[in-house]
Structure 1
């Protein structure tokens, strides 16, 4: 790691530059001991279609956002604690190459790099930061991860009933438990999953039954029917640069 950079002026300036690029829409990023290790543009697999996103790797967090003007203005800032991150390398598809999944307890998503070398570099730096943090804190690697959302265009029919066809009038929905694309009839229920959100979230019919069964096994069958149900938490041109 590059802990020797933590209290240097150049590191402070680099972090301040990132904060300025996000402006008032972003959170402050400068904290004692934090080091900006690298940055780059990765393609994120979004619900509608893959989109370029700016990523900043710090020694304790991963920050990403939407690009308004590259190196000048970003928005929609997301901050992910690296202690909660697990990585999974994925095979190429026709649409995206050099892919891997960033998995956390709250959100999981797929990204791709411009080249195989760049993917290896990102994964190597991420894994090193995660190992360092877990060793430092004594925590175990995270085992509970949110399911990634399957892109809308991956299917034209509901992935649960396999009967309903999506159209302009028949909307696609996503189950927050499994990430499947489902129709309204197959996702009428909501379930409170505190690890993901303080509010009840839409789930598909199969996941709802599974969550209800798990809750009953844990004593949740004493609830009144009208109460909210709760899931208990379980224990090409190179576009990236990193500090050496």
Structure 2
């Protein structure tokens, strides 16, 4: 399907429309051979609640962002290379129907579609495009993925020390394991290259594990190693919030 669409005027116009919708802060999406395969509104599980996001599937990347004015204005653009992505089909839960999981090295998150049919369409199209992209790029598939964050409402207590969360005892997330933890159990910061070049918040258990792994890796190298001291600071909020929108059916591009 995608080779026949790659150099068509219709495909170029579709990609240009997506670019305009993310302007002025979005990145350029036009690229030789790139095809817009489909688009649709999905629910993404953020730390506080399910949030509507607009997703665009290309033959080599996934682009998504927050909805300001549907079809006219989106913000907070995220671009995920397909070779760095895997999807997992999940059974329905009490809180989420038609759910599935997107895993990437930098961030993993739960999604919900409007129907089982739409969910399966997203999964099958992503898997097909990913397979074709790996073949054409000749890259090795990514094998290390970030943990999906456990939602705030999933636990009233710290998942490490069991202290109860209050107005003063705020919830935080460990970037390594995704657990909901208190401030005392997540004072440590460490660089996780796949997530950020700057030190990020992790729980004490993960910090010690990562530090031990780094020390073991340094011991195997003949170089001078690296600095094991990790800076400490307070982390800022991790998710933006948007108003709710109705779900809409996905639109797939016909060959």
Corresponding residue of 1:233: none
Which digits, 9 at most, give the CA deviation of each residue in 1:152-177, with x for residues without a partner? 11101000111x11111111111010
CA contact (8 A) 2:41 2:248 kept: no
Query: Secondary structure of the equivalent of 2:24?
Result: helix
- What is the alpha-carbon root mean square deviation over aligned residues? 2.0
3-state SS, counterpart of residue 219 of structure 1: helix
Cα deviation, residue 237, structure 1: 7.3
Cα offsets for 1:44-90 (capped at 9, x unmatched): 00011001110000011100011111111111111111110011111
Listed one character per residue, the Cα deviations across residues 12-66 of structure 1 (whole Å, up to 9, x for unaligned) are 1111111111120211111111110100011100011001110000011100011
User: Displacement, 1:216?
Assistant: 2.4
Q: CA deviation at 1:3?
A: 1.3
Residue 30 of structure 1 is matched in structure 2 by 30
Question: Post-superposition shift, 1:238?
Answer: 5.6
- Does the CA-based 8 Å contact 1:115-1:238 persist in structure 2? no
Shift of 1:228: 5.9
**Normalising by structure 1, what TM-score?**
0.92
Find the counterpart in structure 1 of residue 184 from structure 2: 185
Distance 2:4 2:83 in 1: 21
The residue number in structure 2 matching 1:204 is 203
Task: Compare 204-213 and 42-51 and name the one that shifted more.
Answer: 204-213
- d(CA) in 1 for partners of 2:6, 2:98: 31
1:12 is the counterpart of 2:22: no
SS in 1 for 2:17: helix
2:143 pairs with 1:133? no
Q: Distance in 2 between matches of 1:73 and 1:186?
A: 40
The yes-or-no answer on 1:240 pairing with 2:244 is no
The whole-number CA distance in structure 1 between the counterparts of 2:144 and 2:64 is 22
- Segments of 5+ residues of structure 2 without an aligned counterpart are 233-245
Kept after mapping to 1: 8 A contact 2:188/2:230:
no
Could you list the per-position Cα deviations for residues 198-244 of structure 1 after superposition, in whole angstroms to 9, with x for gaps in the alignment?
A: 10111101101111221222235976664669xxxxxx976101123
Using the alignment, how far apart are the partners of 1:226 and 1:91 within structure 2?
A: 42
1:137-216 aligned within 5 A: 137-162=137-162, 164-216=163-215
Counterpart contact for 1:192–1:228, Cα < 8 Å: no
1:88 and 1:102 in contact (8 A); partners too: yes
C-alpha contact (below 8 Å) 2:60/2:129 kept by paired residues? yes
Distance 1:39 1:224, change over 3 A: closer
In the alignment, structure 1 segments of 5+ residues that lack a partner are 230-235
- What SS is found at the alignment partner of 1:65? strand
